[in-house]
């Protein structure tokens, strides 16, 4: 029996399992619930995937509630990828190195945090046939997603990593953690960005979301860039896509990253190694 047919004919698991997504107001525009719900239904698992909107000062209570409510696993999105760490019992090696968590497994009364973002980003770049070794990269942002990007670029032996952010000290710390060079975001228009890859790891992609960032991106000089990679998806009037089009650069959004990291998250939650195409197909439905 091949992997695909094994997936479709999976033995039913009659123990009810509930998984969730934790974010702020952005939780309701995520494609994650629809994707996971489709895959859960195809596996024969009896359960559900639920989006939870959590206010910033309630993240600790939300994490405590996972065990109380018998949640089997949680996906963590912005802005909580770093903030959940103090409330977890243990971190995987990768999550500890990166300093950010996007997946929590709830088992035996303990919460264990993982980071599948970094490997998902690697898988998406591999699928796009973009090789990182020897390449120069610019990472925009200093949050949990930026940490995952900088980590995987460094691990894949990028020649250089430039990290640009608003907060000078936070930018410096992130850059130094992953052998990169810090740059103030506001300084980007002043210098040619001579890199092969630009990655937007902020939560901003639409021109109506930040006048400041829209102006900065619109003024950037992108000599030699081969790929603009926006980790967000589904945004109208995307400033990163406009940057790519204006300079005749290939553009890729974060939809594929969502699918690739989801497969690894689902394996951690359930032990089911579901074929990657099932997650990609679920996003098309």
List active site positions. 81
116-154 core/surface letters (b: 16 or more CB in 10 A; e: else): bbbbbbbbbbeeeebebeebbbbbbbbbbbbbbbbbbbb
Alpha carbon 144 to chain centroid distance?
A: 8
Q: Which residues, other chains included, contact 175 with Cβ-Cβ below 8 Å and sequence gap of 6+? A: 150, 161, 162, 163, 181, 182
d(CA 224, CA 173): 27
Residue whose structure tokens are 């430039």: 162
d(CA 16, CA 47): 5
| Category of 134 on φ-ψ map: left (φ > 0), alpha (ψ -120 to 50) or beta | left
Is residue 240 a contact partner of residue 200, using CB atoms and an 8 Å limit? yes
d(CA 133, CA 108): 40
| Category of 282 on φ-ψ map: left (φ > 0), alpha (ψ -120 to 50) or beta | alpha
- The DSSP 8-state label assigned to residue 206 in this structure reads B
d(CA 278, CA 266): 12
3-class secondary-structure state, position 185: helix
């Amino acid at each position: 029996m091949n992997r695909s047919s094994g997936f479709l004919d999976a033995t039913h698991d009659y123990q009810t399992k509930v998984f969730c997504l934790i974010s702020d107001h952005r939780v309701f525009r995520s494609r994650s619930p629809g994707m996971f719900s489709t895959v859960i239904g195809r596996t024969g698992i009896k359960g559900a995937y639920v989006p939870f909107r959590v206010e910033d000062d309630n993240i600790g209570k939300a994490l405590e509630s996972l065990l109380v409510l018998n949640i089997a696993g949680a996906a963590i999105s912005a802005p909580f990828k770093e903030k959940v760490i103090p409330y977890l019992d243990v971190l995987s090696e990768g999550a500890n190195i990166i300093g950010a968590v996007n997946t929590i497994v709830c088992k035996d009364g303990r919460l264990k945090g993982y980071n599948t973002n970094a490997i998902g980003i690697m898988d998406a770049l591999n699928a796009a046939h973009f090789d990182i070794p020897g390449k120069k990269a610019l990472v925009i942002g200093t949050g949990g997603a930026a940490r995952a990007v900088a980590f995987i670029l460094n691990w894949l032996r990028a020649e250089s990593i430039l990290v640009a952010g608003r907060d000078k000290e936070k930018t410096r710390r992130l850059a130094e953690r992953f052998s990169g060079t810090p740059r103030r975001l506001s300084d980007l228009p002043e210098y040619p960005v001579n890199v092969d890859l630009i990655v937007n790891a902020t939560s901003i992609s639409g021109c109506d979301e930040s006048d400041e960032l829209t102006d900065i991106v619109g003024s950037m000089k992108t000599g030699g860039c081969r790929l603009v990679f926006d980790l967000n998806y589904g945004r109208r009037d995307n400033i990163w896509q406009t940057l790519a089009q204006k300079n005749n650069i290939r553009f890729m959004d974060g939809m594929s990253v969502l699918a690739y990291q989801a497969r690894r998250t689902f394996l951690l939650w359930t032990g089911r190694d579901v074929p990657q195409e099932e997650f990609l197909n679920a996003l098309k439905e």
